[in-house]
Amino acid sequence: MKRSTIQKSVVLAALGLYSIGILSSCSTQTSQAETTANTEEATPKELPVIQAELTDAPLVPAPIARKHAAKVVVNLEVKEVVKRLADGVDYTFWTFGGSVPGKFIRIRQHDEVEFHLMNHPDSKNPHNIDLHAVTGPGGGAASTFTAPGHETVFNFKALNPGLYVYHCATAPVGMHIANGMYGLILVEPEEGLPAVDKEYYVMQGDFYTKGDFGDPGLQPFDMQKALNENPSYVVFNGSVGALTGDKALTAKVGEKVRLFVGNGGPNMISSFHVIGEIFDKVYTEGGSKANENIQTTLVPAGGAAITEFKTDVPGNYVLVDHSIFRAFNKGALGMLKVEGGDEKNIYSGQILDKIYQPEGSTLQEMPTASAPKAAVATNKEMRLELGKTLYAQNCQACHQAEGQGIKGAFPPLAKSDFLNTDVNRAIGVVAHGLEGQIKVNGELYNSTMPKLKLSDEEIANVLTFVMNNWGNKGGEVTPAQVDKAKKSFKH
C-alpha cells in the first residue's frame, strides 16, 4: 500500500474514533440532563404550611377553598375535666380539647398532616389517638402514646376522602371511649363539597354511670353497665340538652343544611332521624357515595354519616336517635329551629279539629251493648288499688313508673311540693289540664298537661294513689272533694 493511502486510512480511522467519542459524550451528557430533569420532577415541591382550624361542636371549620395540597399542622390537647352531663349531674370526661365530642378537624385529600398530641400535665392517665382517616398502624395510635405532661408528633398523608371518627385507643380502650374520647375528622375530596348554607357537627355517645338517669352529683363510670351495654345516658354532643333551648341549631327557610353526624359509641348504634324532615342526600357511613330521600340513617359505633336537606317550612325540628326511648328517656334529643315565612302549599298546619264519626253521622252501637259501670271504691284500700291501674293507664308514660318524671319535660310526682302543698290545686290540674310555667321541687317546667277524661271517682282514685306513694304526704281524696275543687280551680 502506498504511503499516502496508509496516512489517509489512519486519518479516517482517527476521525471515526473521534466522532464515536463525541457521540458517546453527547449521549452521556443527554442522559445526565434527562436524569437531572427527572429527579427535579420526582422531588416534591415544598408544600405551604397551614395551621388547622379546630372547632367545638356543633360548630364546623370553614370549607376548604384552596385547590392544592398543603402541610396541615394539627395541635390537639387531651384534658380530663369535670363537666355537666345533665341538670344536677356531673361527670369526669376524658376529652380531646376540653369538650365532648372532641375538636372537629377539617383537611383536604392529599394534604400532609403533622399531628401534635399533647396530654395535659393534670391528666391522671396516658392517652393516644386512633384516627380512622389514617393509613398506618393503629391509625396513629402506635405513634402517639402520650404520658401526662408530654407531647408526641407523627405525620400522615390523607389518601381517602370522607368523614371519619377518631378516638383514644389506650387500654382499656372501651373505658377511654366511654368517657368521651372521640371526635370527627373530615377529609374533603379534591374538588371540595357542594356549597350549603349551614354546617353543623353532631355526635352521639353512650355513657355508663353508677347512678341511674338523673341521679344527682358527680357520677363515676360503671364498667359493669358498659359490659352489659346498658347505658344510663345516650346523648348528642356530650350532655342532655346540648342541642336544645338557646343551644339549638338554627336555620332559615330555604337554606340548605349539612349535618356531619358521628357516633362515638362505645356500644350503641344510632338510628339518626330529624322529625319533620327528609334527608335529600345521605353520604352513608361517611363515604363518597350519596343515597337520596332518606328518612332515618344508621350510624354505627365508630362510624359517621353526612346528611343534607333543605329547610322548606318554619318550625322546630327534633333530632333524635329513633331507638326512641333513648331520645325521650336517656337524652338523645336535639333541636333545629327554622325561622321564616309559612309555606302553606307545603305544610298547612292544622286546618280542622272535629269529632270523627265513621260510617254516618249517627253514633252506632251493638243492640245489646251497655257499658259496664265503673267500680266505686268503698274504702281507701280499694281506692288505692283502682288508682294504681288508672295511673298506669293514663300517667305513667309521662311521669314514669316511680313518679320521677323526666327532667326538663314532665315534672316529678314523687316528693312533689306542688302536689303536697295544695291537693285541691292538683285536682284542678287533673280535671282541667294545665299549660304554662310551674315550679316543682325548685325546677321550672313549661309544658302542657292535657285535660284527662276521668270521672270524679277516677280522679279521686288516681290522686289517692299518687299521694300515698313515692314520699308524698298520704291521705285520701274523695269524689266530693274532687267536685268541690273542680268548681273553684283557678290558675
pLDDT in tens, 217-276: 999 999 999 999 999 999 999 999 999 999 999 999 999 999 999 999 999 999 999 999
Residues 215 and 90 in one domain: yes
Query: Is 33 part of any domain?
Result: no
Residues 293 and 394 in one domain: no
Residues 295 and 443 in one domain: no
Closest C-alpha among 332, 334, 329 to residue 316: 334
pLDDT at 453: 77
Q: Which of 316, 334, 361 is the last residue of a domain?
A: 361
Query: Is 27 part of any domain?
Result: no
User: Residue 432's pLDDT band (boundaries 50, 70, 90)?
Assistant: confident
Residues 92 and 168 in one domain: yes
pLDDT of 450 strictly over 90: no
120 marked among binding-site residues: no
Task: Please state the rounded mean pLDDT for residues 171-185.
Answer: 97
Residues 268 and 412 in one domain: no
Residues 313 and 189 in one domain: yes
Burial (0-12, 13-18, 19+ Cβ within 10 Å), 479: middle
110 marked among binding-site residues: no
Q: Which CATH number fits the domain that encloses residue 482? A: 1.10.760.10
Query: Is 39 part of any domain?
Result: no
Task: Please state the rounded mean pLDDT for residues 469-482.
Answer: 93
CB–CB of 168/176 below 8 Å? yes
pLDDT of 356 strictly over 70: no
Count of domains forming the chain = 2
Please state the separation of Cα 273 from the chain's center in Å: 11
pLDDT at 363: 46
Query: Is 298 part of any domain?
Result: yes
Q: What is the pTM of this model?
A: 0.69
Query: Is 50 part of any domain?
Result: yes
Residues 320 and 386 in one domain: no
Residues 305 and 405 in one domain: no
116 marked among binding-site residues: no
Over residues 19-46, the pLDDT tens digits come to 334 334 444 444 444 444 444 444 457 9
Domain that holds residue 104: 45-344+353-361
User: Residue 374's pLDDT band (boundaries 50, 70, 90)?
Assistant: low
- Candidate from 71-80, 372-381, 405-414 with smallest mean pLDDT: 372-381
150 marked among binding-site residues: no
